[in-house]
A and B are shown apart, each in its own frame.
Chain A
Amino acid sequence: MIRIKIDGEETLVEAGTTVLDAARGLGREIPTLCFDDRQDAFGACRVCLVGIEGAPGPMASCTTPVRDGMKVDTLDPASRRVATAVVELVLSELPRPPAEHTELAQISRMLDVGTPRWPGEQHDVKKHDESHPYLAFHHELCISCGRCVRACDEVQGTFALTATGRGFGANVAAGLDEGFRASACVSCGACADTCPTDAITEMSLLQLADPEPVR
């Protein structure tokens, strides 16, 4: 067992536990965007940053294992500054604000993110994939967090999704970018369930939100 301190509170956890899990075990709220408990940690969003005594800088808590004697500050100012900056950057690349119920919107509220300091190019409002009876893909809302790809890989095991492109042009596609229907997708919905921005969502929920869906 490993003894660590989180925000001054001591706790005992098993070796191999991440700082994120240890902190959440103590009820500390650490914002995340690319993390889903049903999948392996990914370390892409850099929103779960925390301060760790002796570390060269903010550390991603989801991919940092605990070490004996570690002292964690979940509200480390530099970490919060950077996490907030990251969320701002994400909001700046979307052509419209995320729906209120999405994780992205919740995290924005939690970090009290204001108007993006760095406006710039946004995702193209590409063709929407609404060919599937249940799953809709609105690519312009994709923030490349990888959760859908990993759900299809690590939970369902169908491997119907992939990250595509690179850099700012990165996105996600089904099959050979042919839409859910033509791909290997088995319609389990794990991707829609995990998507934090509703880039992938249910057709029926789109109709709930907006009876005249955007085509």
Chain B
Amino acid sequence: MDKQPAREDDWVVVSRNLVELVRRHHEQGAPTALDVLKEAMDQNGEITDDDRRLAAERSGLPEATVHGVSTFYEDLLVPRGRRHVRVCTGTACFAATGDAHVDELAGGLGLSLGERSDDGSLSLAETVCLGYCHASPAVRDGDVIDAGPDAIERVLADAAKPAPEPLVESLLDEPVLIRTGDWSGLRKALAETTPELLLEEVKAAEVRGRGGAGFPAGAKWEFARNAEGEPKFIVANGDEGDPGSYIDKVLMEDNPHLFLEGMALAGFAVGASHGFVLVRSEYPRSKPELEDAIFHAHTEGLLGEDILGSGFSFDITVIEGAGSYVVGEETALLACLQGLRGTVSARPPFPAQRGLHGLPTVVNNIETLANIPFIASHGAEAYRALSPGATAGTKLVCFNERFERPGAFEVPFGMTVRELCEDVAGGMRDGRSVKAVQIGGPLGGILPASRLDAVFDFEPLVAEGCMVGHGGIVAFDDRTDMRDVARHLLHFGADESCGKCFPCRIGLRRAHEMFVSNAPVERVSLEELLEALELGSLCAHGSGMPAPIRSLLAHFPEELGLA
């Protein structure tokens, strides 16, 4: 089934009317409803109907629509005390403590998750994930993110200290993704090539999206280039919501120039004049770092009007999200950028035809964009040669705290998972052994220790019921109860469901209920439910959740409490 977008007149992404209202008010400089609601939350610690009315007035959106937005995003839902503590319940933190840290913290503070003390001084909320998976468990106390075995203790003593940043290394002699961005690719492209030729080069490089779907970036760019509508946009997906993954965090906070350059190159090739980066609110450092980098790029004349005298203009705005995993899906992301509910839309039309404000938009993952400067500088062939006999380019992978050397590593495609786990990350710490490894995020399949010789690349992992995903590698050691893993993943899945499509909205809840109750799980019933989820869901959230459960059914059936 080819993915050519259909000729369309009447198709919609989100609500045509709401998108149009957002566009009109954006043109007049109005904030989005989400902007105003976040501000109210930041200032007052809660959102009242008056805040909603104000958001409606300032954004130009209907009151009901604003109400809907205010009830969707995690950040807007939990009332905040003067001291607001957020504990991470992501998979890496779960793998480290079995969630004991959550109970310890809740017990110590005397609050349950989502509760605020009566005097308004203190509140506790759940958050997924803070991106400190290398040092789990992690806790965010106000704006300080602490992580490590004594983090909870420190927070309870009101002595949180900033967690250490992860190790970041490349296996390549000449790092591609972690070299400091120097805008040389853009300089070269503007001086020596045309948008059409750059596009051809990117297509020839066979860059596959790094966010999880693996869709060829060049093809996406071409659709947008050929689509009707002005202006066009490049959107960088910095909503790295996968628990266990901190790759984009590293790129955004330690090396923003590289992918920002990639965005500008995308703009050049596609004919877009503006870019947006959606960063998740769980990474509070990302936005300030990015805005700083953008400011510097401006002063160097690398962003803005008529860059380096080429006639090409491009600018970038950073928008912060408000707590929703599904917003990492491209149509939901665009909805969030427009300040609407982050629900998924049917495709076609694809964002390349009708995206932000109904106009052609390229949505690329941060890491994907970080690959582009190399191609612009060195060409498609050199890029393909980085991983001979495997998917072109390199990949950043990251490891959780269970490993001896947890960190973010740039590796070529084609190594085995065992090599990655043992040689690169040094195997399990504390003398423990690997029980199972989940690759690519919470929707990725799970490899038992016996199958770690699988090759880390797109097709080989699919053959194992797994995926490259975004590259997060989370190990469960021998202490882990795999039924708990099932419950944990399904809790996450159900919690993050956007609620639009029926299989996911109801089915994930039912699947979670099966593993929460003490009753044995009927295998056939579970498998029928998984089939409905996999084949029926609107997006990869619902359709992807069965994968790890199936891995567990295949490799750890005796632990799941089946009937």
Query: Are any A and B Cβ atoms less than 8 Å apart in their complex?
Result: yes
A108 within 8 A of B: no
Chain A's closest residue to B49 (CB) is A176
Chain B's closest residue to A89 (CB) is B506
| Pairwise interchain contact A52-B1, C-beta atoms closer than 8 A | yes
Q: Which residues of A contact B64 (CB under 8 A)?
A: 159-162, 173-176, 183-184
| Pairwise interchain contact B500-A82, C-beta atoms closer than 8 A | no
Which of A15, A58, A143 sits near B502, CB closer than 8 Å? A143
| Complex CA–CA separation, A90 to B532 (angstroms) | 13
Closest Cβ–Cβ distance, residue B68 to chain A (whole Å): 3
| Pairwise interchain contact B72-A57, C-beta atoms closer than 8 A | no
Which of A16, A46, A164, A166 sits near B67, CB closer than 8 Å? A164
Which of A54, A78, A159, A167 sits near B497, CB closer than 8 Å? A167
| Complex CA–CA separation, A45 to B496 (angstroms) | 18
A56 within 8 A of B: yes
Q: Which residues of A contact B15 (CB under 8 A)?
A: 150, 153-154
| Pairwise interchain contact A166-B499, C-beta atoms closer than 8 A | yes
Q: Could you tell me which residues of chain A, from 42 to 68, have a CB within 8 Å of some CB in chain B?
A: 42-47, 49, 52, 54-58, 60, 63, 65, 67
Q: Which residues of A contact B532 (CB under 8 A)?
A: 81-82, 85-86, 89
| Pairwise interchain contact A177-B67, C-beta atoms closer than 8 A | yes
Q: Which residues of A contact B63 (CB under 8 A)?
A: 175-176, 183-184
Q: Which residues of B contact A86 (CB under 8 A)?
A: 502-503, 532, 536
Main secondary structure of the interface of A (DSSP, over half): loop
Q: Which residues of B contact A79 (CB under 8 A)?
A: 535
| Pairwise interchain contact A40-B12, C-beta atoms closer than 8 A | yes
| Complex CA–CA separation, A58 to B15 (angstroms) | 25
Chain A's closest residue to B9 (CB) is A16
| Complex CA–CA separation, A92 to B502 (angstroms) | 12
| Pairwise interchain contact A164-B529, C-beta atoms closer than 8 A | no
B255 within 8 A of A: no
B140 within 8 A of A: no
**Given contact pairs A46-B503, A170-B505, A85 touches B9 in the complex (Cβ within 8 A):** no
A194 within 8 A of B: no
Closest Cβ–Cβ distance, residue B467 to chain A (whole Å): 15
| Pairwise interchain contact A163-B531, C-beta atoms closer than 8 A | no
Q: Which residues of A contact B509 (CB under 8 A)?
A: 120-121, 167-168
A211 within 8 A of B: no
**Given contact pairs A86-B503, A154-B15, A60 touches B346 in the complex (Cβ within 8 A):** yes
Which of A159, A163, A168 sits near B494, CB closer than 8 Å? A168
Q: Which residues of A contact B52 (CB under 8 A)?
A: 176
| Pairwise interchain contact A168-B49, C-beta atoms closer than 8 A | no
A213 within 8 A of B: no
| Complex CA–CA separation, A43 to B502 (angstroms) | 10
| Complex CA–CA separation, A42 to B10 (angstroms) | 12
Q: Which residues of A contact B513 (CB under 8 A)?
A: 120-121
Apart from the given pairs A63-B347, A144-B505, 13 other A-B contacts in the complex at a CB distance below 8 Å: A16-B8, A40-B10, A46-B503, A82-B532, A85-B531, A86-B536, A89-B510, A153-B18, A163-B343, A173-B68, A174-B64, A175-B67, A176-B64
> B residues within 8 Å of A by Cβ?
1-2, 4, 6-12, 15-18, 49, 52-53, 62-65, 67-68, 71-72, 324, 341, 343, 345-348, 494-503, 505-510, 513-514, 525, 528-529, 531-532, 534-538
25 A-B pairs, CB-CB below 8 angstroms? A40-B16, A46-B536, A46-B537, A58-B535, A58-B536, A81-B528, A82-B531, A82-B532, A85-B532, A85-B536, A89-B532, A90-B502, A90-B506, A92-B510, A146-B500, A162-B68, A166-B71, A166-B341, A166-B343, A166-B497, A166-B498, A167-B505, A175-B63, A175-B64, A176-B67
Q: Which 6 pairs show the lowest CB-CB distances between chains A and B?
A: A170-B499, A162-B68, A43-B346, A65-B6, A159-B62, A85-B532
